[in-house]
Amino acid sequence: MKNSSNSERIIITGVGGFIGGALMGKLKRYEPVGVALHLKDHIRGMNVIEADLTKEDKVKEIFDQYQPTTVFHFAALSDPRLNQQHPEMARVSNFVTAENIINNLHKDTHLIFPSSDKVFDGSESYPDESSPVKPLSYYGELKCQCEDLVRKKVRRHHMVRLAAVHNFERYTKVYKGTDRGAFLDQALTEIKGGKEISVFGATARCFTRLEQLIFLYEAFIQDTNYGTYNVGSKLTYYYDRIVALCEEENIPWEGKIKRIESNANPPIQNMNTEKVRKTFGIDLT
């Protein structure tokens, strides 16, 4: 890896995914190295290595070769339903992979790690970063385990708790059905195409726009305010979020959104995001 102008050496895992791929494109001036399990069309031509990060010897080989100063670790099984249905695959893809990364970091390497609002159970009305974690799902439990591991072993780290990340149209076709934010993007695409969609009427989350998240991740590179950050918009119902995005994109939506009974658990998950707003001056909408 060539040194960039500020000598940062960056590795981004999971660049075949929604967020990792977007960040890889944004950080071109750093000449980052991406890691993906399989090369996909949208990352061909980038500086990407094919590697299975569940194998610790492969992780060690990559880190010994590139000696990163900063690692963004996005490689994981992020679909909560698949985590619940395939617990062993989920454990290996999430916890074991994170453990392999952490065990091979230099003591001064900076780790940026995405967590989830699913570490909470919805019982606290406005949980902040110090609130007790009470996961209701296996995915949330694995994220709690990863958070503990990061705090214990990585001095320089930023952890980001997220709900749904969305970025209408740009990545929808590539990531359909594979990412937590895919539903919102698919919903707008279908409404724009004249189709009717069904939405959980009583489910609310703190949403994040992809461009705002990428701005934040870029800011982390030079930041020394290490720790955990809750990230997302003001608590909003899925129905209201979709309507607002349709109006923002000038997409006619009347009569195309059907409210259905929610089976999300918890149905409402709020987060206190004042820390990230005050620290980075970012207006999350």
Are 249 and 222 in contact by the 8 Å Cβ rule? The answer is no
Dist. CA 100–CA 13, nearest whole Å: 12
Supply the angle between the helices 238-248 and 182-192 in degrees, to the nearest 10.
Answer: 50
Residue 272 reports pLDDT greater than 70: yes
Read off the pLDDT of each residue in 10-17 and give the average, rounded to a whole number. 94
Check residue 267 and give its pLDDT.
96
pTM of the model: 0.92
Residue range 171-198: mean pLDDT, rounded: 73
Does 43 or 38 have the greater pLDDT score?
38
Instruction: Identify whether 239 is part of a domain.
Output: no
pLDDT score, position 17:
87
pLDDT digits (tens, 9 = 90+) for 220-251: 999 999 999 999 999 999 999 999 999 999 99
191 part of a folded domain: no
Examine residue 272 and state whether it is found in any structural domain, yes or no: no
Mean pLDDT for the stretch of residues 109-130: 98
> Which residue range is the domain that position 87 belongs to?
10-163+208-231
Going through 14-84 in order, the beta strands assigned E by DSSP cover 33-36, 48-50, 70-73
Tokens of 271: 């987060």
Could you tell me if residue 203 is inside a domain?
A: no
Domain contains 68: yes
Average the pLDDT over 90-105 and give the result. Answer: 98
Domain count, the chain: 1
Side-chain-facing half-sphere of 231: CA atoms under 13 Å: 28
DSSP state of 171: T
Asked whether residue 116 is assigned to any structural domain, the reply reads: yes
CATH number of the domain bearing residue 20: 3.40.50.720
